[in-house]
Structures are given as structure tokens and as C-alpha cells.
Structure 1
């Protein structure tokens, strides 16, 4: 047992000290911070300069109402009544004196319409408000033509009252479903990335030791089983370290913006997230990682060169990708029979059952059964994987999945 801990801590410490781990952690932290503060980042690059827009009012009626509408909206746009022709306005735009020219007219129904000419038409920050202001004027004129009162207009545009109420006992509320969707999306991506990144670390570790012949020295002092599980848990601990750091950074970032109404914390009310959802998330994440890590370590033992690793682990990677897509599309129909059945298949359970637990109120026995099947499969593949690993680490040459039978034969010898 002491040799198992030696391999575990050696794997963990040697990896956590590497420049690649430190740099990748810092880069991912920056990405998390950027994602959670994307609105603030965009604000830094926004142009606060007041836009100068000339208005050619062919109706002689729309300029003043448009100015009032823009002033009420508080947008940084300054309108100027332009008495010259369009060509002069276009020349002023080219020379940088104006940002745009708006040509106002009436259509056949007597309603306002506009044509905006600018150097570019991609700056939605000031073009959008102009269009909205003209739209409001159109509504006002149309309602006057129809002789509607302001109260009647307000009643027409008032959003419809639509409330969702679940009447089944224990069913998720709309807020709980939104919370679950966020956390399930986050954790599904986390499981997917963790298995691919840290699982492949196990494969490359074994392949590097075999290609450098270090494995021949290791097997003489440490049993292959201790090596296998030492590497799995060492890499798992490495992954947990990185994930905890990233979650902590994300949590602190969310908390720092929780005083704003549109922050993620307030919109989703993450502080009210059920503890059971988080517990199940941790359980399914750990069991899912152990299942796929065991498979990858087992197949990695057959690889003699790092270049051959992708060929051998492709079936496992395809399973992970399939589980990810099933969970992604399953969010639209979590109660479907297909998703329900697939959630009990251990390879898909970590993502699909987590999605169902988060979004639905399902019986406890279903959760217990899925966890039991998943844990049992982890133990089964651990036993099988240990046997294959014991013989596989001593095999060299061209690698294929057919070598599993030969690895088991070597183990018996």
C-alpha cells in the first residue's frame, strides 16, 4: 500500500510542478474571469464619443419629435438638421465631420421611414437606438391615425402575463429548472473536459515510461496494479486541484458582481441551489472520471509509443463524446424514454443521470440504482483493467486492441 501512495504523490507532485500545468491553470483562470465579466470587458472598448448625425428631413415634420425621442432615451447621439443635399452629407462623413446622415420621409400610408448612410453600419450601439426612436415615432403616428388613447396603446404593448406552475408533488419550479440547466451545462462540460484532458495524461504517462524503458525498472519494484491506481488517483488529484482553483476563482468573481441585478448569481439565484444537486454532481463526476480513467489506463498500458496513444483510446473518446451530445440534446427532452434508458448505461450515467436529477424530480431508487450500476462497473473495469495493465506494460511493438488477449495471457504467466 505504501508503494501505491508513493506512485500517487510522485505522479501528483511531478505534474503539479510542471510549467504546462501552471500556465494552463493561469490561462484557464483568465478565461473564466473573462467569461464571467464579458460585459465589463466590452465596456472598456466601447467608444463614449457622442455620435454626430445629420438629418435630412424631407417631411419637415419629423426632426423635432425625433430629437425629443433621442433625448429621452439618453443615448449619446447628437442630431443636426442638415439643409444641404445627400452628396454634401456623404462628403462630410468621408472627411470625418459626421458619423452618419439620416434621411426621413413618409411612406404611402403616411408613416415615417428612414435611410441611414454611414461609413460602416456595424456599430449597433448608436444605429440601434436611432432605429428604435424612429419606430416609436411610427407607433405614435399610427395610433394617432387610429385615434387610440395612450392607455390603449400601453395595453396593446404590455407583455402578456404567462406563469408556469408545476402541479405535481415535488416538481421543479421555473427558477429551479433554470438553476439546474446552468449547473448541468457547466458540470457536463467539466466532466467532458476533465476526462479528455486528465484521462489522456494517464495514457501519455504510461506510454512515455514504456518508450523510455523506465517501465521495466518500475515493475521490478512496484506492482503494476499499484502503478495503475497510483497514476489514476494521482492524476485525479491533479484534476481536482485545478478544478477547485477554477471554481473558487469563478465563485469569487460571481460574488463580486452579485450586487448588480443582471449578474449570474442574482438571475439564477445560485445561493438557493439545492445541496442535493451539488452532492450528486460531485458523486457522478468522481465515479465518471474513475470509470473512464480506468479504461484509458488499461488501454494506455498497451501503447509503446506516445504517437500510438490516440489510435488505441479512440473508442473511449467516442463514448465520452456520445455521452456529451446525448446530455446536451437530452436537456430538451429529459423525460423521454430514450434518455431515461440511456441514463442507466454506466458509460452515459455521469452526464445523463446528472442532467435528469437536476431538471426532474425522479425517484430515489432510480438515482441509487444508477449510482450502484456505475460504481459496480468501475470496480469491474478496475479488476479487468488491473489484469490487462499487468501484462500490457511489458508488451512492446505495434499496438492494437487485439493485444488485450495477449496482455491477459502475459498476466497469467
Structure 2
């Protein structure tokens, strides 16, 4: 145990004290705090000031109608008659003509885009009402102007199944109803896992390969058993990645405590639903298990080589499978989150950490598939560590050049 802890502490401390670790961690923490203040930063560069009052001049009937429609939008802007003075935060709306309607808006500063959209929406409603009155349309005819078409979808694959036809028709545009907060959790989980895997898989492979190519391993194995040494390396690199992840989580928690997210949450519609808690828990579990699995495989692949030139070739499967899993998860988010490809790939161990959080977003998935995914990863991690230890023990002193030569020799032993 003392030999394990000695190797573990030496590897762990050397990594967390490295400038690359500190710089990359600091950059991500800064990005977290910048993202937490994104709306305030945008406000600094936005020279426009919000309007507080719109003064209306012109046809009284049209002005009264505009005030009624605009107040129904529940904005922070008040509407009043023009008193001849235009102060700060005020705009003048002049009704030039009524047949056809023309308007002029005057202000001493730029009008924010969201407020301009509200004004244009209200004026459009006023013009629509005036058009209805000028054409002498009945209430029924006026209502038909806003009616949406009744569309029935007759899909060949749904023929003979009325319930499936009804479900297909109700989808309309085919886009899934995705909770924005759950989507943010999914994106953060998958992206963070992908980049940590790519970063630390290369590091742990380099650690193992460098010891073999420099023949330092001959001195190490004389005092530390090869399997103990490898397991200490794997555990240390996993701990380093989890340390960096913990710093990110602490930074997010600190940002939540220090800054007011109410405006940002309301603007982007970040509201939790019944699936959010499940989504967060399983995303965190799959993130941790995914890191452990890929780093264990990276250590095993690194032990195959005897030259640093072969390192990238050895780690190619890790890069390839993590990239495929990443794209399967990302590209199926806006399609069907529970199609055949997603269901099958979610049970493939190397894709499970990426794809299962996507299935966790779907309320129809249930707990059983998610728990099966966790079990698959646990078994895969145990198998990967056992294979890594076996390969490392049999190839630690090998001087054969080439991955396949080492693989054949390990199989024979």
C-alpha cells in the first residue's frame, strides 16, 4: 500500500502543480465567471439605453388604440400624450397618416432591439385592426385571418395505426419539445467529458509510454510491482481529472451564489421540469464513469508501445470512439432522442457515457435503461483495468518495436 501511495502522490502532485494544469483550469474558471456575467458584459458594450416612456402624437383614436395594445404587452414602458418635450429615455411616436398608416419614431438615443420589437408588434396589431374595420369584416371573418390551417399527415409508416397517425400529426414540424435547462446540462456534460478525455487520455498514455521508452521502468519495477505501479498511475490521473472537474463545479457554485441569474434565466427560459433532477444526477454519474473507463483504456494502450512515435497510433481508438460517441449524442439531440441508433449505441460501453445522458432527457426512457447503462460501465471499467494490468505486466520490459508485435507477444504469454 505504501508503494501504491508513493507512486500515486508523486504522479498526482506533479500533474496538479504543472503550469499547463493551472493555466487551463484558470482559463475555464474565468470563462465560467464571464458566462455568469454575460448579460452585464453585453450591457457594457451596448450604448443604447432602455426607453421609459413613449409619447404619442396624432390621431387620437389610433393613439388610444396603440396605448391599449401596447399596455397589454406588459412592458416597463409607459405611454402618454406628447407634451412638446422629449427627455432622456423618452421617444416620440408620431401618427403621420391613417390611410395607409404611417408612423415616425423619434428618440435621442438608440432604442434596444427588444423594445423596438414590442413597439413594432403593437403598431402591427393597430394596423391589422384598422384594416379589418376599413374592409367592414365581421368578427367571424376577422377571426379567420388569424386561423391556422388544419393539416392532417398521412404517413405510410403509420398507416393502420390511428394513435400513431394522431401522434405524428400533433408533432407538426417534427421538432421535439426540449427543456432548455436540461439541454444545457446535456451539452455541458458531453462537451466537458469529451475534452477531458482527449486531454487526459494523451497524458496518461504519455506517462506510461515515456517510462518504458526511457527505460526508467527497469528501476521502478525492481522496487514496485508493475500492476501496483500502473494502478497508481491510473488512479492518480483519474484523480487529477476529477480535481479539475471539482474546481469547475466549485466555480459554478460560487458564480451562482455571487451573481444574480434571474434576468439571464428569464431571458433564456431556464426552468426546471420533472426530469431535471434525474438528468443532473445521471449526467454526473456517466461523466465520472466515462472518464474512468477511457483513462483506463488509454493506460492499457500506452503500455503496448515501446517508442514515443507510436503513441498517437496507439491512442487512435480512444480518440475515434470518443468522437463518434460525441457526434451521436450531439446530432440526435434535435432529432429523435430515442431512435434506434441512440438506443443501440447507448448500450455500447464506449458510447454509453455520451449517449445515455441524451436518453435521460426523455421521460419515457425510465430508470431501468439508465441503471443498465451504469452497470455496463462498471463492468467495462473493471474489465479495462484488469486488461490494462495484464498487458502492462507482460509488456513492461518489452523492447519490441510496433504495437502489433507487442500485442502478439502479449497474447502468446
Q: TM-score, normalised by structure 1?
A: 0.70
Q: CA separation of 1:368/1:46 partners in 2, compared to 1, >3 Å: closer, same or farther?
A: closer
Please show how residues 118-267 of structure 1 align to structure 2 within 5 Å.
Answer: 135=124, 138-139=127-128, 141-146=130-135, 177-258=179-260, 260-263=262-265, 267=269
Deviation at 1:296, TM superposition (A): 0.8
Question: Residue 81 of structure 2 aligns with which residue?
Answer: none
Question: Residue 29 of structure 1 aligns with which residue?
Answer: 29
User: In structure 2, how many angstroms separate the alpha carbons of the residues matched to 1:400 and 1:105?
Assistant: 81
Q: CA separation of 1:273/1:316 partners in 2, compared to 1, >3 Å: closer, same or farther?
A: same
Residue pair 2:181, 2:270 contacting (<8 A) in 1 also:
yes
User: In structure 2, how many angstroms separate the alpha carbons of the residues matched to 1:146 and 1:18?
Assistant: 76
Residue pair 1:291, 1:378 contacting (<8 A) in 2 also:
yes
Question: Residue 97 of structure 1 aligns with which residue?
Answer: none
Q: What is the Cα-based RMSD across aligned positions, in Å?
A: 4.9
Q: Which moved more, 1:5-14 or 1:282-291?
A: 282-291
Question: Residue 93 of structure 1 aligns with which residue?
Answer: none
Tell whether 2:38 aligns with 1:38.
Answer: yes
Deviations 1:271-329 (A, max 9, x none): 98765544433332222222211111111123344453222211221111111111223
Q: CA separation of 1:114/1:211 partners in 2, compared to 1, >3 Å: closer, same or farther?
A: farther
Q: TM-score, normalised by structure 2?
A: 0.70
Question: Residue 4 of structure 2 aligns with which residue?
Answer: 4
User: In structure 2, how many angstroms separate the alpha carbons of the residues matched to 1:337 and 1:402?
Assistant: 39
Which consecutive unaligned segments of at least 5 residues does structure 1 have?
A: 52-59, 76-103, 117-122, 160-173
Deviation at 1:208, TM superposition (A): 2.8
Please show how residues 6-405 of structure 1 align to structure 2 within 5 Å.
Answer: 6-48=6-48, 111=100, 135=124, 138-139=127-128, 141-146=130-135, 177-258=179-260, 260-263=262-265, 267-269=269-271, 275-331=277-333, 332-396=335-399, 398-401=401-404, 403-405=406-408
User: In structure 1, how many angstroms separate the alpha carbons of the residues matched to 2:267 and 2:256?
Assistant: 6
Deviation at 1:257, TM superposition (A): 4.2
User: In structure 1, how many angstroms separate the alpha carbons of the residues matched to 2:177 and 2:250?
Assistant: 24
Residue pair 2:212, 2:306 contacting (<8 A) in 1 also:
yes
User: In structure 2, how many angstroms separate the alpha carbons of the residues matched to 1:127 and 1:358?
Assistant: 36
Q: CA separation of 1:155/1:248 partners in 2, compared to 1, >3 Å: closer, same or farther?
A: farther
Q: Which moved more, 1:269-278 or 1:279-288?
A: 269-278
Residue pair 2:298, 2:315 contacting (<8 A) in 1 also:
yes
Deviations 1:366-395 (A, max 9, x none): 333332222222222222221212233333
